[in-house]
Amino acid sequence: MLEILQAPPYCTIQDLGRPRARHAGVPVGGAMDPHALVLTNMLAGNLPEHAGLEWALGGGEFSTTRALRLAHSSDLLIGNTPIPPWTTAVVPPGTSVRLGPPYQERFGYLAIEGGIEVPQVLGSRSTYLPAHFGGFQGRLLRTGDRLPIGRPTIDSTGPLPGFELPAQLRSRSSDPIRFVSGPDSERLPPEAIRRFEDSEWTLSTTGDRMGYRLQGEPLPLAPSGFLPSAPVCPGVIQIPGDGQPIVLMPDGPTVGGYTTIGVVISVDLGRLAQTRPGSTIRFRRIEVEEAQALFRRQRIDWHTAHSLSKETAS
Amino acid sequence: MRFAPLGDAALTLTLGDAISLDVHASVVRAADRIRAARLPSMLDIVPAYTAVTVYYDPLRTDCATMQHLISTVMASEGPTPQTIVKEQVIPVQYDGPDLAAVAHETGISVSEVVARHAAPLYEVCVIGFVPGFAYLGPLDPTLILPRLSTPRRRVPAGSVAIAGCQTGVYPFPTPGGWRLLGHTDVTLFDVDRDPPALLAAGDRVRFEAL
């Protein structure tokens, strides 16, 4: 059992989401930065699919009723002992654990060996706030909540305390966010994609788990004409009437009616999610084949992290 | 028929440019056909007004292979798999806050608005916006009005509403700009039900005035 002594801001239970319920209008959801959640899971001796905690900006505090192996992406104090991020730690029962705010990022992640074992809803433990399901009672975590922890996986020989993830696996580039064009890019004036790539965009402060707004020189619009609502996905870059792009995030709607200029590639969406409001970003177009090669490479990185953690297993 | 990648994990097949019942019927048929092929790398399939999107796992396939597989399925001979078209009757209390204004703006009586909204057998065109929300159409042409100029911050769950040539029921309390004609006690979406959404694209719906 994990007891929340002080809930971090905007704290939810997230895993890798529910990719098979979109036909019912249910977004994929899941961690805003899946790469960070998976790496913390690897450090905690979990599988990529285990559910962990996601929170935004601030910190919080919790304690446990039994000894737990855990890992996190921000600062952590176990009792009075500081634990650097991206390392495996073991918490003795009854000790308070203080979580610091995410490092220069937007979302922090905490993985606990065995995962947070709330019931699965439509194949996932992710919290989906707009329809109040998944996670813990379909809502943000509050101070005083007590969360069930799963048993360690059968082959669990998790990493030793102090195991640190190699820097190259967790490093984040500040290169432009990559996207593939389409499916409506032909409806836009030919200079729209070039202008989108050439411009510097500022991340608006109104972004949430559903979508991020970009502010900059307005993009030229498609010739007016009704566009029937079509299926979309996280990463879709829509151009509404004011020419200021909106990027759909994991809890965004499953269909949309604005022109889609392109889609942020899967491996870069978490990096965009972690960009703080007010920061400037750029975008670069790549081909879908390259995006899919990068997708496969990220899975190899996850596998590498898993193998490395096993080598130091206790 | 044209294909376009929707990012690195989905492919959209567009079958027409304008909304029509014919185009939508071909979209629903295409979705049935692709679904019946049980492609192992396919995660989900979502039909909409003029397009159907196949979501897939890029660890198991790639965009070109997926396009080839779907083209092959679409070109294959043989009958479209028969899926049962479900018909749902949704009882409605026509007491919505916008009912009088809709009557006023369309120049017909409140009872005529109700009669014209409850008369058609609607087609479920798309499921989306929020879980279980069904875009139903086509609406009686006399009831076509733009969305509210100022959307409501909170539309109650079960609200039966119209916008443009569409009608629908809000499954959850959400912000919304559609005009509210009434409400129903029918649960549109319930995670404990299988399937959770009451309606699926291609189903038919009739509203019954209480």
Task: Please write the tens of the pLDDT for every residue from A172-196.
Answer: 888 999 999 988 877 888 889 999 9
Cβ <8 Å between B130 and A253: yes
Could you write out the DSSP letters of every residue in A90-142? EEPTT-EEEEEEESSSSEEEEEETT-B-PPPBTTB---BGGGTBSTBTTB---
**C-beta atoms of A228 and B171 within 8 A:** no
**Which chain A residues have a beta carbon less than 8 Å from that of B8?**
180, 263, 265-266, 288, 291-292, 295
Q: Please tell me whether residue B65 adopts helix, strand or coil conformation.
A: helix
Residue B135 near chain A (CB below 8 Å): yes
Q: Which structural domains are found in chain B, ordered by start?
A: 2-75 (3.30.1360.40), 87-209 (2.40.100.10)
**Mean of pLDDT over chain A:** 91
> In A, which residues are within 8 Å of B197 by CB distance?
24-25
Least confident window among A105-109, A156-160, B43-47: A156-160
Whole-number pLDDT of residue B117: 97
A8-12, A92-96, B63-67, B112-116: least confidently modelled range: A92-96
Q: Which parts of chain B sit beneath pLDDT 70?
A: none
Letter for the amino acid at B120?
P
Amino acid at B161: A
Residue A137, min C-alpha distance to chain B (Å): 12
Rounded-to-integer distance, Cα A204 and Cα A197, Å: 18
Confidence of residue A225 (pLDDT cuts 50, 70, 90): low
CB B7 to CB A289 under 8 A?
A: no
Identify the band that residue A115 occupies on the pLDDT scale cut at 50, 70 and 90: very high
Q: Pick the residue of B1, B2, B6, B199 with the most A CBs within 10 A to test the interface with A by mutation.
A: B6
Taking the CA of residue A43 and the nearest CA in chain B, the distance in Å comes to: 23
Domain regions of chain A by residue span: 2-170, 177-294
Nearest to B126 among A21, A128, A255 (CB): A255
The verdict on domain A177-294 having CATH code 2.40.100.10 is yes
**Residue A158 pLDDT > 90, yes or no?**
no
pLDDT tens digits, one per residue of A213-224: 999 999 988 776
Task: Tell which B residues from 61 to 120 touch A, by Cβ distance under 8 Å.
Answer: 62-64
Sorting pLDDT into bands at 50, 70 and 90, what band is A314?
A: low
Nearest chain A residue to B165 by CA distance is: A228
What is the pLDDT at residue A185?
Answer: 79
Q: Does B133 touch chain A (CB under 8 A)?
A: yes
DSSP β-bridge partners for residue B3: B13
Neighbours of A205 (CB within 10 A): 10
Q: What does the DSSP 8-state code read for residue B176?
A: E
DSSP calls for A145-193: -EE-BPPPPTT--PBPTT-B--HHHH----SPEEEEE-SSGGGS-THHH
Contact A233 B55 (CB under 8 A): yes
| Cβ pairs A/B, distance under 8 A | 145
φ, ψ for residue B122, nearest 5 deg: -80, 155
Q: Which residue has the higher pLDDT, B129 or A263?
A: A263
A253–B48 C-beta distance less than 8 A: no
pLDDT-derived band at A306, boundaries 50, 70, 90: confident
Q: Does B129 sit within 8 Å of A292, measured CB to CB?
A: no
Taking each continuous run of H as one helix and of E as one strand, the counts in chain A are 5, 21
Whether pLDDT at A95 is above 70: yes
Q: Which of B202, B200, B22, B205 is nearest to B120 (CA)?
A: B205
pLDDT of residue A183: 86
- For residue A261, give the DSSP letter: E
CB-CB neighbors (< 8 A) of A131 in chain B = 130-131, 171-172, 189
Whether B199 and chain A come into contact, CB under 8 Å, resolves to no
Give the closest of A23, A122, A233 to B7, CB-based.
A233
Q: Under a CB-based contact definition with an 8 Å cutoff, are residues A10 and A66 in contact?
A: no
pTM: 0.94
Residue A155 pLDDT: 59
Distance from CA of B109 to the nearest CA of A (A): 30
Q: How far apart are CA B58 and CA A149, in angstroms?
A: 31
Which pLDDT does position A154 carry in this prediction?
60
Is the per-residue pLDDT at A226 higher than 70?
no
Three-state helix/strand/coil letters over A188-214: CCCHHHHHHHHCCEEECCCCCCCEEEE
Q: Answer whether B127 sits within 8 Å of A25, measured CB to CB.
A: yes
pLDDT, residue B64, reads 96
DSSP, collapsed to helix, strand or coil, labels residue A81 as strand
A299 CA: distance to closest CA in chain B (Å):
9
**pLDDT (0 to 100) of residue A165:** 86
pLDDT the model gives residue A162: 85
